Structure 1
Amino acid sequence: MSELYVSFEFFPPKTSQMQERLWSSIARLAPLEPDFVSVTYGAGGSTRERTHETVARVLKETSLSVAAHLTCVAATREEVDDVLRAYWEIGVRHIVALRGDPPGGPGEPYRPHPGGYANAAELAAGARNIAPFEISVGCYPEKHPDSPSLAADIDMLKRKIDAGASRAITQFFFDNDVYFRFVERARAAGVGVPIVPGIMPVSNFAGLRKMADICGATIPGRLVKLFQNLDEDPATRQLVAATVAAEQCLALAEQGVRHFHFYTLNRDELAYAVCHMLGVRPKPARNADAAA
């Protein structure tokens, strides 16, 4: 098997305890030399300052390449452009351009901000006008909840790529056939950029159900059975979760996938374990052999 690449997504912490958890996770995963790490941007720009602070600290205190998420929600073009300029000034060279969720949460229809970027394709184009950012965008193998069809989704993805994006990262999924069917349709539509599978190791099954409902991801019945009655048994749940995620990634790798993007939820254990099983491990110290 040729070399595999990984990337990790984190979210900006709200409390000092969550801050400690985040930086402990970053410290544990950094030696795996990820292609990049990304930091999310809350609905309606609600985490703007915390996202910026987290990104700045990653740049300052680590050697990691960091991608800053940015959305179109609740901001004018000028406000978003100011954020982009501020990121470029501190050394951010990679943006994850997303439409974003409505400020009111699930169930509220999305409405572009007056004077703002209407969608991620416009945001990607705007970012490229500000500076030569590397741009990643999102995609939904099972269709975006707000999209009229999968064909419309793929058309929007093509618009994002035409606007300057060089990578698409999928929403999480658990049926690999769903991913490969989506990639096949995207390729047929002329999308040639890497389509990186987003992997969500199951740290909390009840929480996963809620996220899946919001983003339109299907949880197969086999997973429901596997995690049944494990809510009060975190040790067993952890073992099952690592096994499930590793099996999914290994099956994807066997069919040619070489990059995996892990939604860590600011926890390192499952992502680290899955990477280990994929053969993505810390590089041995250069002088280890000589010291021996």
Structure 2
Amino acid sequence: MSTIVEKIQSLPPDLPFYSFEFFPPKTDSGVQNLTARLKRMAELNPLFVNVTWGAGGSTSSKSLDIATLCHKQLGLTTCLHLTCTNMDKNIIDQALAKAKQNGIRNLLALRGDPPRGDEYQIPSESQPFHYAVDLVKYIRQQYGDYFCIGVAAYPEGYADGTNPELQDINIDLPYLIEKTAAGADFIMTQLFFDTDSFIKFEKLLRQHESGIFKTIPIIPGLLPINTFQSFIRTAKLSHAHIPVDVMTKLETVQSTDDEQVKQVGVQILTDMIDRIYQETSHRVRGFHFYTLNLERATASILEKSIILKKSQIVRRALPETTPSIEAVLSGKVEDIKLNAKSETAEASWDDFPNGRWGDPRSPAYGEIDGYGITLHVPPAKALELWGHPEKPEDISKLFVDYIQGKLPVLPWSEQDDLNPETRFIVDDLIRLNNDGFWTVASQPAVNSVRSDDPIFGWGPRNGYVFQKSLVEFFISTDKWLKLKQKLSNVDEISYYAGNAKGDFFSNMTASDMNAVTWGAFPNREVVQPTIIEEQSFKAWSEEAFAIWQEWQQLYAKNSNTGQFLQKIHDSYFLVSLVHHDYVNTTALWEFLHI
């Protein structure tokens, strides 16, 4: 199998190309349905595909499984991500060995999350990698030229969130030079929407006096826009500047029709591709799509882009069946039927994706960035924000401060402010958190609100949307036992509860599907984009408790705070409640007024 660079070199000099990135879904059903989606997207004939790798190796097994399926069964040139910071060397060695064993020859070497507390800052024998350059050097030392290695670049400068003024490409340049000199074969950028910044960045590299960037492939990373909300969220997480003209185009449609947002997004990306290709005089001719495992927007861009049509897309005839991942890895490849699903369900996965609060059967179900568990802020900033809690009241205060807007972020939050709908239940949430119910997710009940409503609306125009009241929180074991007894006396509330030890309780069966948001639109079946069920709760519960340990690692193991956070991780429950009386908007909060 050719490497990425060999594939690029085999193309005619001016011929554009494109590639796709996928991440491992959080649920087994999501992974299985991703196999069907991979087959279809393989028919779009990308030059190669990337498969992401969770921080600390959190998705290493699934990542290797998906990469192997792409390579062995779909015949795709496949690039496996590797993150190295806070990573045990044995995991890296195993991943490299398995990648080679399965014929995967391309890697994207990334730093991953920055080191955490002081005791984690110094590389050790078990965790020798501090920066991506350490990983590049190690791969070259161990495997020579077998692997084609890519490294990341930041057209607007790398930002860790602590000091926006330090987001400067000139500050990052020495590190990119070092990574490239250590043995990088290609450069792939972080996502961006500011085309001017990328063009300036590419010119800076090509003209650098060292000459090290003169011919190396520089591949811009592009994010197809699926919804306005996910666009804003991802831009914030990536510290990507949004040009005024881009924001203006999207703001004109964001509150009225998700389909219009997608169409405008397709045009924005198409224009970006055209400008980059023309204004770099075809030096940049490859475009990498961060698909987020979503199909429609990427396919629409390929269809609309005159530049990418030059690549003479050839639809490949692939098998009608796809093997299980287990069969691929075991070497016993037996074809299986693709999962049956309604067209409405599959359409809703792409039409109305909304992060974790989605359909657990979706191939796009999981972290939006695909890189696994993270605190979303660097260690120094986290310590400044959250201090050194040593008792439950300290945690309650942090949660209340966040709800009141006094604290910009918590370990479980991905954005700097609450959703606008939260103001309808803010007093209830403050009361709960003061009582030791630390809320990590919630939504008020909504009974038939127009789909163009600026706060609750979503989906096509002239529709109506509904949602059940929901709340999710951490509580101590004694509080959970009291709550569990109270729940046994009501029929209107569905619940899941679990702890880090694996104890699990629910009043539903494993096959129950609980729709918590839905919409009725002209000329459509009822759309249910948000479903909560046992598999998705367990997947999220594992991640939610792992975040307590991520937080704990900011502190010395024997410190009061470190021991306190470990105790919470070990003894608290995560509880999810849904009240089915969406007509009575206060029912859930009155029930919880213990």
Question: Is the TM-score greater than 0.5?
Answer: yes
Q: Which amino acid aligns with 2:34?
A: L
Superposed, 1:1-292 pairs within 5 Å as 2-102=14-114, 111=121, 114=124, 115-131=127-143, 132-146=146-160, 149-189=168-208, 190=211, 191-192=213-214, 193-228=216-251, 229-230=253-254, 233-255=257-279, 256=282, 257-276=284-303, 277=305, 278-279=308-309, 280=311, 282-283=313-314
Distance 1:166 1:179 in 2: 20
- The answer (yes or no) to whether the contact 2:20–2:290 under 8 Å persists in 1 is yes
RMSD: 2.4
- The answer (yes or no) to whether the contact 1:141–1:182 under 8 Å persists in 2 is yes
Alpha-carbon displacement from aligned partner over 1:188-226 (angstroms, at most 9, x marks no partner): 333231111111111122222222223221012222222
Cα shift at 1:103: 8.5
- The residue number in structure 1 matching 2:388 is none
- Give the helix-richer structure, 1 or 2: 1
User: Identity across aligned pairs (percent)?
Assistant: 32
Cα shift at 1:112: 6.2
Moved more, 202-211 or 165-174: 202-211
Alpha-carbon displacement from aligned partner over 1:154-192 (angstroms, at most 9, x marks no partner): 111111111111110111111221011111222233323
| Structure 2 unaligned spans of 5+ | 1-12, 161-165, 318-594
Q: Which amino acid aligns with 1:79?
A: I
Distance 1:181 1:248 in 2: 14
Alpha-carbon displacement from aligned partner over 1:264-286 (angstroms, at most 9, x marks no partner): 00012111121222304532689
Moved more, 141-150 or 90-99: 141-150
| Structure 1 unaligned spans of 5+ | 105-109, 287-292
Q: Which amino acid aligns with 1:260?
A: F
Instruction: With the length of structure 2 as denominator, give the TM-score of the two structures.
Output: 0.45
Q: Which amino acid aligns with 1:170?
A: T
Distance 1:265 1:41 in 2: 13
Distance 1:204 1:103 in 2: 33
Cα shift at 1:149: 4.0
In the alignment of these two chains, the number of paired residues is 281
Moved more, 184-193 or 199-208: 184-193
1:235 and 1:208, CA in 2 relative to 1: closer, same or farther beyond 3 A?
closer
Q: Which amino acid aligns with 2:47?
A: D
Distance 1:112 1:13 in 2: 32
Stretches (4+) displaced over 4 A: 110-113
Instruction: With the length of structure 1 as denominator, give the TM-score of the two structures.
Output: 0.87
Distance 1:123 1:239 in 2: 40
1:199 and 1:112, CA in 2 relative to 1: closer, same or farther beyond 3 A?
farther
Distance 2:115 2:44 in 1: 35
Select the structure with the greater relative contact order (CA < 8 A; seq sep ≥ 6): 1
- The residue number in structure 2 matching 1:289 is none
Residue aligned with 2:43, SS: helix
Q: Which amino acid aligns with 1:262?
A: F
Distance 1:169 1:30 in 2: 21
Alpha-carbon displacement from aligned partner over 1:238-262 (angstroms, at most 9, x marks no partner): 2111111111111212222210001
Distance 2:42 2:316 in 1: 14
Alpha-carbon displacement from aligned partner over 1:25-72 (angstroms, at most 9, x marks no partner): 322221232221000011222111111111122123211011000011
Q: Which amino acid aligns with 1:135?
A: I
- The answer (yes or no) to whether the contact 1:40–1:51 under 8 Å persists in 2 is yes
- The answer (yes or no) to whether the contact 1:43–1:102 under 8 Å persists in 2 is no
- The answer (yes or no) to whether the contact 1:73–1:112 under 8 Å persists in 2 is no
Distance 1:284 1:214 in 2: 35
Q: Which amino acid aligns with 1:24?
A: A
- The answer (yes or no) to whether the contact 2:57–2:91 under 8 Å persists in 1 is no
- The answer (yes or no) to whether the contact 1:45–1:73 under 8 Å persists in 2 is no
Larger Rg: 2
Residue aligned with 1:227, SS: helix
Distance 1:169 1:16 in 2: 30
Q: Which amino acid aligns with 1:160?
A: K
